[in-house]
Structure 1
Amino acid sequence: MLLLQLAIILISSKIAGSLSVRLGQPSVLGKLLIGILLGPSVLGVVNETKTLAEFSQIGVILLMFIAGLETDVDEFKRTGKASTFVGFGGIIVPLVLGYFAGSIFHFSMMQSWFLGLLLSATSVSISVQALKEMNQLKTPEGATILGAAVIDDVVVIIALAFLMSFAGGEVNLTAVILKKVLFFAGAILVGWKAVPWFLKKFALLKVTETVISSALIICFVYAYLAEYTGVAAIIGAYIAGVAISVTDYKHEVFEKVETISYSIFVPIFFTSIGITAEFTGISQNLGLIALFSILAILTKLIGAAIGAKAAGFGWNSSLGIGSAMISRGEVALIIASIGLESKLLSQTMFAVMVVVVLVTTIVTPPLMKLFFKAKTQKETRDTRN
């Protein structure tokens, strides 16, 4: 059954992606929507399984690894200020307005802050694919988005630990922060000294494809250690890609990882998002879903865009950056699950926020297309003048 499901997912995602491009949208939008169509919520042709979930996890890790390989380190350094502004702008506005929204619905103070924190999360795995398709990944905007995503992930997780310590959870805030500091310090040191050495030594082994194997080992170890220390696995994979991007093996690794990833794992990741969508019982909460979807989209778009504008980007670029930060993805789902377990989210609000996360994921690619297209057209007009 698994083999048939894989075949259905691959053929459907490729055709849907192609149709999406023909309609002027990023291919990822078609892959997300076909997942919903194939999943149990509509046709029920493909069901969520543990194996598919693991394939999907590998897909998102490889996607962010590729983004790291394509990162221009010098550009990344130059956009540090902009990434900081975008990251914090995209946290503060959703956090504050989410808190006020919770207060309006008579949530407790802790529940309201948790809601704001949940809305502050971001996951740019979907945005990375859209940036690649629009040739924007290696631009200052692309570097800013990736840098802001790292900042967002770290700050939100630390803030979550801080909140949970007040909510009565057994959380050692000092240990949480120390683990993250140790991860990033270790990741940078190992990336600087050990990664080039490991690639060089492993390449000498008398077996086939040693370079790509060594690169994948580095990717998966970084992703595991990131997850172990409370940082998202995709951030670890991204840092691993950046570490390899400054070595002589960059191009060989990129070409082969891209082939492996886009032939099977990445399409499964995009389609699985739609397959896992759960719409049971949402008809009773359509008003809440609409309200919180609008809140989630606008707060992240406006907050991150203001940060980008303050860092010196034009309005079209700022809105493009803001739209890329909208998707909440797996990071928000993890936080929502923590909220449900700790009684900071009711079962109803948990169901609502799961659909809201899906909505933010679906609207991100077309919004990015809209704003980055406007940016490109403006640049073309300015060049002609």
Structure 2
Amino acid sequence: MISIIVLILGALLVGWLATKLHLPAVIGQILTGLLLGPSLLNLALPTDWLHLGGEIGVWLLMYEAGIAVDTKLLKANFKIANRVAWLGALVPFTVFMLIELALHQTLLVASFSGLVFAATSISITLAVLGTHHQLGSRIGSVILGAAIIDDLIAIIGLTGLTMLTSGNGFNWANFLPLIWFILGYISRRFTRIMPVSHGLITLATWTVIPLFFAGIGRQIDLASLSSHLGPLVWWTLIAIITKMLGAILASKWSGVSLLEATAIGSGMIARGEMALVILTAGLASQLITASQFGFYTAVVTLTTVIAPFIMDPLFKRLK
């Protein structure tokens, strides 16, 4: 238990330091797991407790995502947000699926890869929009609406893929992320229980959620990644370009100016926590190997780090 506490405290500290460098806290938490994991310091950890904490962290992340769904905001900009979400998800999904098929992966693995890069991070998007006072703007509303729809697409896709990989028979465990998302969405509608929900999320933010992200960093194999630097750079570039391209095309289709369309596209780049949840489920279902998990996680992490640097100059021009 002491080593688990050390891991959580380290993740919180490095996550806080990351925010001081204008990076998402999740990046610092992943780096903590990498630092304390087998690739570097190799801190001994009780794997059962780490797995349980990570599972609870996933569920509460989904609960938080459900709470974040603002129905009024979604309705007000639904038409353009829906186009941005679907085209912004379809382009990377198709491209990465075709890449994996060209690399002789199965259709199931190829579809999983596409799903990972179809996701969008709500939390990263919220942070950058808040910095530029764009949360209440039309552009901000479109980005958040599209990010919410993207998460819905990702959760439904994840549920379907985990069912396919679990063999015959019904397993409630496959639906737990979706169930927690729905519970979060429902709880937002009951003001009396919102203080309890926010208290639960606050507790999770200080415990199991950083443990989940640190656990992801712990599973990254630096030795394996060092021999794949070329593909890592290419995949990151493709992940950024495909997401922006889909969102820009959808925005222009809806009559938005090129600058605003590009800003919307930049707001969809970060894959963040949702993609990491999908990756964790894929590893648990043995849909991907530990080596693939580490590679995908590195790409997701890079898109999350790079996204704010692309968003900042664009949103400054919108002021």
Bin the TM-score by the shorter chain: 0.7 to 0.9
Give a deviation string over 1:361-385, Cα, whole Å, max 9, x none. 31233233224433542343xxxxx
Q: State whether structure 2 residue 110 is matched by structure 1 residue 119.
A: no
The residue matched to 1:145 in structure 2 has which SS?
Answer: helix
Larger Rg computed on CA atoms: 1
Residue number among 291, 295, 307 corresponding to 1:356 in the alignment: 295
Contact 1:244-1:250 within 8 A present in 2 as well: yes
Aligned residue number for residue 84 of structure 1? 82
Residue correspondence of structure 1 range 130-209 to structure 2 within 5 A: 130-134=124-128, 135=130, 139-140=140-141, 141-155=143-157, 158=160
1:306, 1:48 → 2: CA distance?
Answer: 48
Residue correspondence of structure 1 range 234-249 to structure 2 within 5 A: 234-249=177-192
The residue matched to 1:249 in structure 2 has which SS?
Answer: helix
Q: Pick which of 126-135 and 48-57 moved more.
A: 126-135
Q: Which runs of 5+ in 2 are unaligned?
A: none
| Equivalent AA in structure 2 for residue 369 of structure 1 | P
Aligned residue number for residue 98 of structure 1? 96
| Equivalent AA in structure 1 for residue 155 of structure 2 | D
**Structure 2 vs 1, CA of residues 103 and 53 (structure 1 numbering), >3 Å: closer, same or farther?**
closer
Contact 1:297-1:360 within 8 A present in 2 as well: no
| Equivalent AA in structure 1 for residue 297 of structure 2 | L
1:256, 1:170 → 2: CA distance?
Answer: 38
Residue number among 53, 57, 60 corresponding to 1:55 in the alignment: 53
1:56, 1:229 → 2: CA distance?
Answer: 14
The residue matched to 2:30 in structure 1 has which SS?
Answer: helix
Q: Aligned residues: percent identity? A: 20
How far 1:171 sits from its partner (Å)? 6.9
| Equivalent AA in structure 1 for residue 182 of structure 2 | I
Give a deviation string over 1:40-88, Cα, whole Å, max 9, x none. 1111125461211211221232233233324322112334434432343
Calculate the aligned-residue CA RMSD, in Å: 3.7
Residue number among 242, 250, 260 corresponding to 1:299 in the alignment: 242
How far 1:20 sits from its partner (Å)? 1.2
Contact 2:93-2:118 within 8 A present in 1 as well: no
The residue matched to 1:324 in structure 2 has which SS?
Answer: coil
Q: Which runs of 5+ in 1 are unaligned?
A: 173-178, 180-226, 381-385
Give a deviation string over 1:139-173, Cα, whole Å, max 9, x none. 51223202221123325655x599x79xxx9779x
1:42, 1:249 → 2: CA distance?
Answer: 47
Structure 1 length normalisation: TM-score? Answer: 0.66
Residue number among 274, 291, 305 corresponding to 2:217 in the alignment: 274
Contact 1:118-1:336 within 8 A present in 2 as well: no
**Structure 2 vs 1, CA of residues 43 and 146 (structure 1 numbering), >3 Å: closer, same or farther?**
same
Give a deviation string over 1:278-298, Cα, whole Å, max 9, x none. 345445544444444444443
**Structure 2 vs 1, CA of residues 123 and 259 (structure 1 numbering), >3 Å: closer, same or farther?**
farther
| Equivalent AA in structure 1 for residue 115 of structure 2 | A
Aligned residue number for residue 7 of structure 1? 5
2:93, 2:68 → 1: CA distance?
Answer: 32
1:116, 1:125 → 2: CA distance?
Answer: 15
How far 1:359 sits from its partner (Å)? 1.5
Residue correspondence of structure 1 range 211-360 to structure 2 within 5 A: 228=172, 230-231=174-175, 233-311=176-254, 314-325=260-271, 328-335=275-282, 350-360=289-299
How far 1:33 sits from its partner (Å)? 1.2
**Structure 2 vs 1, CA of residues 145 and 290 (structure 1 numbering), >3 Å: closer, same or farther?**
same
- Aligned pairs, number: 307
Residue number among 94, 118, 123 corresponding to 1:129 in the alignment: 123
Aligned residue number for residue 18 of structure 1? 16
1:147, 1:296 → 2: CA distance?
Answer: 19
Give a deviation string over 1:81-114, Cα, whole Å, max 9, x none. 3443234324432343235434554x2xxx3644
1:69, 1:293 → 2: CA distance?
Answer: 30
1:264, 1:124 → 2: CA distance?
Answer: 28
Contact 2:90-2:118 within 8 A present in 1 as well: no
Contact 1:47-1:275 within 8 A present in 2 as well: no
Aligned residue number for residue 188 of structure 1? none
| Equivalent AA in structure 1 for residue 67 of structure 2 | L
| Equivalent AA in structure 2 for residue 54 of structure 1 | L
2:240, 2:75 → 1: CA distance?
Answer: 28
Q: Pick which of 254-263 and 279-288 moved more.
A: 279-288
Give a deviation string over 1:261-309, Cα, whole Å, max 9, x none. 2221222122221112234544554444444444444334433454455
**Structure 2 vs 1, CA of residues 306 and 230 (structure 1 numbering), >3 Å: closer, same or farther?**
farther
The residue matched to 1:323 in structure 2 has which SS?
Answer: coil
**Structure 2 vs 1, CA of residues 289 and 333 (structure 1 numbering), >3 Å: closer, same or farther?**
farther
